[in-house]
Structure 1
């Protein structure tokens, strides 16, 4: 799930915007995010399908209970999604087979996606109806009036079917910016053999335990852990998960961004101590991406790692891995009352405000989020479903050859978003730069985050 983030400053879309708060890390898994209902969200009518017109009325009114209307078959949809090998396009074409509604899939690489979406919005183009939305764009897309607000369109009972990770990733300020597309978080992987040789039958459950275990695991050229701590978005991902693990959050009670909260400083101090004081982190981590971390783990050079789902079956492929049958996956450690916390990587599919086929687009979202798409997307492609019910499906269980799907699902319930308010795409670089300064030993964690706070506040003001 390594992601590189495109950069396009869209000042016109950020006017009069304030950042919304994130919930603290859950102390036990939840089946739905509190943001899904939101205090400002209106309840659906008794019929179960809201007929809220979020687009101004007329033919573009969005009605959940009219997605089977035969007239929709006369409309051709265009969806802009990331597809590097053609498999997503083939999967999505089944929508036409099932519904009779024509669908044109425009495949792009991830690094082009953000620019193409915002360019289409600024030009008021109606050529694109549906777009893939990364979680960090939710605030900007809603506040910038780029995509439809689906909060009162998709019934609350339907929203409750999704995993915590996938639903929270498409929410901003209690509003639904997209329909969940797939589930993703970072997970905890460990080498069972190395832990056993160090005297441990189970992985650490807290970061305090992790630090002590790491000291015994680091010897003879093997480091306890390796991380994607290159100055890039991957570093922000690890930092976010760590902040919530230590009970921190990125917004205060007034919904103001807070990079230097006590929890954030404690988390960064911990990260710095691991690499600079304990020296149990492979120093190459300061240049590593998630793929580099995976390669080191496969080679047996590190004993533990945090990485996205999808590491299997490669970890058990003897042509690529030296740790076949020696590894396991589970919850990332927590601290204190926090059982676990991990950054989300889930994404969604949104309806463009400029679409002329919004009702047909809603029909696609309904289909895409159902088992008709979600089930084969896992059994054929290995992409983790957004529907919690599918994790008990017999075909899905059979396709899970490594028997890890239940462990993967468990982490999804502890997913936490990056602070995805408007402008994050721009000031994320500030955050990663200052976090890097601290873990590289160039600046004290408190001073680094104080400086990050000041610079990010200035960036937010300019974006308004």
Structure 2
């Protein structure tokens, strides 16, 4: 059955997943994947059909909780989880073993471990991504959520200058300027510039997306084949490991003439068999928890199984219909805070900017 996925073509009833192009009020439109950050915008515009009556509580519990949260807007389920991505802590198993350490579960422990790796083994202890771009928001969400903070809380209140957020952003800056385990280049690096030094064998640990495991095991692209593993990201004391969610989820257009047929299609796409097929054929990580217990997945995509805990710790970026503006404002503010300091004052100003947006 998975053969049907090998060369997917646009379905005649499928519609664009971009918010600005979503033709939801046309009768022909039926269903489409949505980037996880677009869900609230589409729902606020009234362009998607609420799914509360079509998705049981039991079915919702079969997906990772963070994905269900990302698919929910103002208490209503407006998208069905499909596939996910999340950040994980990649580390050199040989270096960790040589130091007699285990993957750190606390951010300050990570700084200590990275410093020891850097002192004894590699030029760079820990890499992450802080380029003024969307990736900065992803890393930011992980640091803040792992300190029990929220940029925007469920009520819609802006909390970006809360003590938890200030502490998290200050630590991000301290990784470069105080602990000196991350080079200042991280302030201009996104995914690939940060990945290359790691797979070249010059870095002890790194935050990155799920695709990196496969790259690290490819001898054509990596000098550390067989020396890399992945673990959940650390947290602050009293917090929990948190990974920023990526991926695409499924929605039904409000203007669809055949909502029942669209829901049947969505239930099939989100089902165990289809999610397993997409995982094996395309590397799309399932949103349904039980798929990670499938023996075929462990054999065909072992890295996904390793990342199950990271996906389970997934947290969404701010759920708001104004996400694009919120993201740009935060990118600018947090970038200034990381480079120039005055974290508290910069985040206080950012709160006022965000309140004007949301």
Determine helix, strand or coil for the equivalent of 1:380: helix
Residue 282 of structure 1, CA deviation: 2.2
Indicate the residue corresponding to 1:29 in structure 2: none
Return 430-439 or 389-398, whichever deviates more: 389-398
Indicate the residue corresponding to 2:223 in structure 1: 322
Indicate the residue corresponding to 1:446 in structure 2: 344
Q: Gapped runs of 5+ residues in structure 2?
A: none
Indicate the residue corresponding to 1:207 in structure 2: 107
Determine helix, strand or coil for the equivalent of 2:177: helix
Q: With structure 2 as the length reference, what TM-score do the two structures score?
A: 0.92
Q: Give distance in 2, aligned partners of 1:342 and 1:213.
A: 20
CA contact (8 A) 2:79 2:251 kept: yes
Residue 105 of structure 1, CA deviation: 6.9
Compared with structure 1, are the counterparts of its residues 380 and 107 closer, same or farther at alpha carbon in structure 2 (3 Å cutoff)? farther
Show the 5 A alignment for 1:244-323: 244-252=145-153, 254-323=155-224
The Cα offsets for residues 74-123 of structure 1, whole Å up to 9 and x where unpaired, read as: xxxxxxxxxxxxx9674589xxxxxxxxx437697x8xx33322xx24xx
Q: Give distance in 2, aligned partners of 1:343 and 1:362.
A: 27
Quick one: which of 323, 343, 353 aligns to 1:455? 353
Q: Does residue 387 in structure 1 map to residue 288 in structure 2?
A: yes
Indicate the residue corresponding to 1:420 in structure 2: 319
Indicate the residue corresponding to 1:104 in structure 2: 12
Indicate the residue corresponding to 1:345 in structure 2: 246
Q: With structure 1 as the length reference, what TM-score do the two structures score?
A: 0.72
Q: Give distance in 2, aligned partners of 1:276 and 1:105.
A: 53
Compared with structure 1, are the counterparts of its residues 330 and 105 closer, same or farther at alpha carbon in structure 2 (3 Å cutoff)? farther
Instruction: Count how many residue pairs are aligned between Structure 1 and Structure 2.
Output: 355
List structure 1 segments (4+ residues) > 4 angstroms apart after TM superposition: 105-108
Determine helix, strand or coil for the equivalent of 2:150: coil
User: Higher helix share goes to which structure?
Assistant: 2
Residue 324 of structure 1, CA deviation: 0.7
Indicate the residue corresponding to 2:304 in structure 1: 405
Residue 253 of structure 1, CA deviation: 7.5
Return 444-453 or 372-381, whichever deviates more: 372-381
The Cα offsets for residues 45-95 of structure 1, whole Å up to 9 and x where unpaired, read as: xxxxxxxxxxxxxxxxxxxxxxxxxxxxxxxxxxxxxxxxxx9674589xx
CA contact (8 A) 2:122 2:204 kept: no
The Cα offsets for residues 310-331 of structure 1, whole Å up to 9 and x where unpaired, read as: 2232211111101111111011
Q: Give distance in 1, aligned partners of 2:160 and 2:44.
A: 22
Determine helix, strand or coil for the equivalent of 2:81: strand
Determine helix, strand or coil for the equivalent of 2:105: coil
Q: Give distance in 2, aligned partners of 1:272 and 1:252.
A: 24
Q: Gapped runs of 5+ residues in structure 1?
A: 1-86, 94-102
Indicate the residue corresponding to 1:114 in structure 2: 19
Determine helix, strand or coil for the equivalent of 2:290: helix
CA contact (8 A) 2:219 2:225 kept: yes
Indicate the residue corresponding to 1:360 in structure 2: 261
CA contact (8 A) 1:225 1:303 kept: yes
